[in-house]
Amino acid sequence: MIALAWRNLWRNKTRTLLTAFGIAFAVFLVSFAMSMQGGSYDDMIKAATRFYTGHAQINQRDFVTDSKLEQTVPNASALREQLQNRFALVALPRVQAFGVVSKDERSIGGMLVGVDFMAEAAQLDLFKKISAGRLPRGPDQALVGAAMARNLGADLGDDIVILGSGKRGGVAAMALSVGGILDTGQSELDRSLLFAPIESVQEAFDLDDEVHNLVLVLEDYAQGAVLAQSVDELLQQDQSYRTWQQLLPEVEQGIELDRVSAEIFYYILLILVSFAVLNTFVMVIFERTREFGMLMALGLRPWQIIGQVQIEAFFLGLSGALIGLVLSAVLVAYLSEVGIPLSAYSDEAAQQAFAQLQASSMTHIYPAFSIASMATAPLVLMVGTQLSALFCMLRVRRLNPVAALRVE
């Protein structure tokens, strides 16, 4: 029966080849697109989390909505040591304070962030965006956003003054020189942030050794949610642990929206190909009506004939799916090694879509080889092929052998 089904499939070689090609093309296109999509999502999340926010953060619960200077993380040094000893991560301490930044007669409001420059530069990509100067080396140097520097009229080596309110209610004042200018390409950051050594900020704002944030950098961003319960056990009741999904909701929402819209397109394409297969088997029924009537006259039951055509449909779907799957897998395997340069995307929509990647140190995107991306299209089209053949062959159950033998 299997050999007969294979021979019957090639009675009309042109039609079989065209149908198999359509299935192969759909499988190739959907599998490759899903792999590229998964890879770009992975790269986008890595770029976003490795840029500034980290994979997770620990801070006072109220600090999330109302960032007050006194809302620090108690025993941050001990907690940081516990986290780094217990889990495979790096905890970066940060403090932040609002203040007025002045140079000569110009003044603007800004957020002063105290960081460990060397530790942050080793783990995150933000400080790779220094357009002039270098990372501050001394306690009285600052790294200023490009837009803030322009608004202040400040250049490398210029002195700036930051005035704010200390934790104990007194006036906090810092005199810093511009050691570097940071141009991230993100206007909000470049306009509002400046960075200084964490010890200098703590001293000026009466923070002692307290910090506002512990920024956690993990080996894999997916570990953030996995570690949530374990990390929560180390935290006090008024402290919060936030993963990248909570820190960057716009990234997750954008990815989910893109995923849903793309999946709608994929399934529409697969349904259209399934209708093409349906058309093939409609032609098969009309061309072989006399043959089916003869087989029934010889004693074959309708279900036996239906089973025979179902085997033909299986071979047709399998051959097309395998060709498309192999081509897609080979291309994905190759591109997952060499990558696709972001410069290859020259149109405006693509540039906007990959803006986060371009803001990071990433220059290529890499497709992600996964079972879901490789199996979805072949399985859907295999099922679609079987259903198309079954739908067409149901009329065989009502076929009158005598009437069928009269068909020319």
Helix spans in 10-127 (H): 13-48, 76-86, 117-123
Last residue of a domain, which of 174, 202, 220?
220
Backbone angles phi, psi at 346, to 5 degrees: -100, -20
pLDDT (tens digit, 9 = 90+) per residue, 363-399? 677 888 888 888 888 898 888 888 888 887 777 776 6
pLDDT (tens digit, 9 = 90+) per residue, 296-333? 777 777 777 778 888 888 888 899 999 999 999 999 99
7 and 91 inside one domain: no
pLDDT (tens digit, 9 = 90+) per residue, 19-36? 899 999 999 999 999 998
42 and 77 inside one domain: no
Contacts of 139 (CB under 8 A, 6+ apart): 197, 199, 200
Residue 241 lies in a domain: no
The number of beta carbons lying within 10 Å of the beta carbon of residue 120 is: 24
pLDDT (tens digit, 9 = 90+) per residue, 57-75? 999 888 877 778 888 888 8
Residue 351 lies in a domain: yes
Q: Which of 5-14, 292-301, 347-356 has the lowest mean pLDDT?
A: 347-356
293 and 359 inside one domain: yes
Residue 45 lies in a domain: yes
11 or 117, greater pLDDT: 117
Which residue from 237, 233, 173 is spatially nearest to 200, judged by alpha carbons?
173
Which of 178-187, 192-201, 278-287 is modeled with the greatest confidence?
192-201
63 and 211 inside one domain: yes
62 and 44 inside one domain: no
The whole-number average pLDDT for the span 204-221 is 90
Last residue of a domain, which of 220, 241, 273?
220
Residue 29 lies in a domain: yes
Last residue of a domain, which of 220, 237, 266?
220
Residue 234 lies in a domain: no
The per-residue pLDDT for 281 is 81
298 and 389 inside one domain: yes
Residue 239 lies in a domain: no
110 and 198 inside one domain: yes
The per-residue pLDDT for 401 is 63
26 and 90 inside one domain: no
- Per the rule left: phi > 0, alpha: psi between -120 and 50, beta: everything else, 92 is beta
The per-residue pLDDT for 31 is 92
Mean pLDDT (the chain) is 84
The number of beta carbons lying within 10 Å of the beta carbon of residue 371 is: 7
Residue 236 lies in a domain: no
Structural domains of the chain, count? 2
287 and 398 inside one domain: yes
pLDDT (tens digit, 9 = 90+) per residue, 222-231? 888 888 888 8
CA distance 309 to 305: 6
The per-residue pLDDT for 349 is 45
Residue 226 lies in a domain: no
The yes-or-no verdict on residue 351 having pLDDT over 50 is no
157 and 78 inside one domain: yes
Q: What one-character DSSP code corresponds to residue 227? A: T
41 and 63 inside one domain: no
Q: Work out the pLDDT band at 234, boundaries 50, 70, 90.
A: confident
214 and 359 inside one domain: no
The domain containing residue 198 runs over which residues?
56-220
pLDDT (tens digit, 9 = 90+) per residue, 95-104? 999 999 999 8
Strands 56-60, 213-218: pairing kind: antiparallel
Q: How large a percentage of the chain has pLDDT more than 70?
A: 91
